Structure 1
Amino acid sequence: MSDQLAIVLAAGRSTRMKSDLPKVLHEIHGKPMIDYVLDAVRSAGLNKVVVVVGHQAERVQQALSHHDELEFALQTEQLGTGHAVMSCRDQLAAHNGPVVVLAGDTPLLQASSLEGLVKQLVDNNASAVIGSANTENNFGLGRVVRSADGQFERIVEQKDANEAEQQITEINTGCYAFDSQSLLRSLDQLKPENSQSEYYLTDCPGIMQQAGETVLASCLFTIEEAMGVNTQEQLAEVSQAIQPC
Structure 2
Amino acid sequence: MPEVIVVPFRRIALGNRDEFRQAGAIKAALAEFISTLIFIFAGEGSGMAYSKLTHGGPSSPAGLIIAALAYGLGLFVAVSISANISGGHVNPAVTIGAFLGGNITLFRGLLYIIFQLLGSIVACLLLEFTTGGLEASPLTLSSGVSVWNALVLEIVMTFGLVYTVYATALDPKKGDVGTIAPIAIGLIVAANILAGGAFDGASMNPAVAFGPALVSWHWTHHWVYWAGPIIGAAIAAAIYEIFFMDRSHEAVPVADY
TM-score interval, smaller chain: under 0.3
Q: Of Structure 1 and Structure 2, which has the larger fraction of its residues in helix?
A: 2
Give me the TM-score of the superposition, normalised by structure 1.
0.27
Give me the TM-score of the superposition, normalised by structure 2.
0.27
Q: Which structure carries more relative contact order (alpha carbon 8 Å, separation 6+)?
A: 2
Q: Of Structure 1 and Structure 2, which has the larger fraction of its residues in strand?
A: 1
